[in-house]
Amino acid sequence: MNPIIAPSMLAADFGNLQRDVELVNNSTAEWFHMDVMDGVFVPNISYGPSIIKAMTKHTNKFIDAHLMIVNPDKYIEDYKNAGVHNLTVHYEACDHLHRSVQAIKAAGMKAGVALNPHTPVHLLENIIQDIDLVLIMSVNPGFGGQKFIENAIHKVSQAKDLIVQKNSSAKIEVDGGVNTENGRRLVNAGADVLVAGSFVFKSENPIETIEKLRNCAL
């Protein structure tokens, strides 16, 4: 089965943002992935709900926002109003994760939980049935273009086992250094959604690259 491809707009050309939104619109990618960074939880700053809202005006595709920020609960309504469909928060950033997940769902969005490379999958055991997505970080969050961490493939397998064991319907997403080679192994391990930024937008033909990534597991 083809994975869902979610190009990361962090790697887009912000001087030609509408052009790159249209590029994704014209590709076989099903999702847009929005990386939100606050310079506190991660050592970089990206964009917030106003920029996402500007992008969502030009697409009908699924908007997948990944909050790499402290105090994410404060901004849930802002991202709902920006047009986000799935809102992912970090396990490491939430003191009361279950409450955060409930608040996201109460706002009418799907809820995801991201795990940093050092965070073990088993910590999701008591919430896996309540969430719609597990995001396995395959780089340390904060910057695009990093090298893929091989242990992420093992973590995808662990997440898949936990989802099956708990009869959860959560999807598994992987973000960081994804390409066609490791993408194939990730999908074979159980990944449902592949996020790719630099690999897509820095390629000679991004639309063709997205299609190759979609077909990487065939």
Residues marked as catalytic: 35, 175
195 Rama sector, left if φ>0, alpha if ψ -120 to 50, beta otherwise: beta
Q: CA–CA separation, 63 vs 65, rounded Å?
A: 6
